[in-house]
Amino acid sequence: RSAAAAADLAALAVARQASRGAPDPCDIGHRVATANDGRLTDCVVVGHDAEVVVEVATPDGPYRWVPDGRRRARAGPSSGGYR
């Protein structure tokens, strides 16, 4: 699984929890990142907006060409809000 996908999913989950008033919306980000073979290394929530950083292990050996395993993603409500 890719770091980008794990970060995108974690950011969406955190923003959704923030919009619902969860006391610790980053908790779901940790769970989503872990479920995608990643590790949430940073999570910032401002209002209903979330920004996360997720790292996944990158292969060694002949697969060193695989892109960096760290990605940042942001998510939040559209101008119309969540429905």
Q: Which residues pair with 44 in a beta bridge?
A: 51
pLDDT at residue 83 above 60?
no
Give the integer Cα–Cα distance in Å for 9 and 4.
Answer: 9
**Tens-digit pLDDT profile for residues 16-62:** 999 999 999 999 999 999 999 999 999 999 999 999 999 998 776 56
- Whether 47 and 18 have beta carbons less than 8 Å apart is answered as yes
Regarding predicted confidence, which is higher, 59 or 75?
Answer: 75
Q: Global pTM?
A: 0.84
Does the pLDDT at position 81 exceed 70?
Answer: no
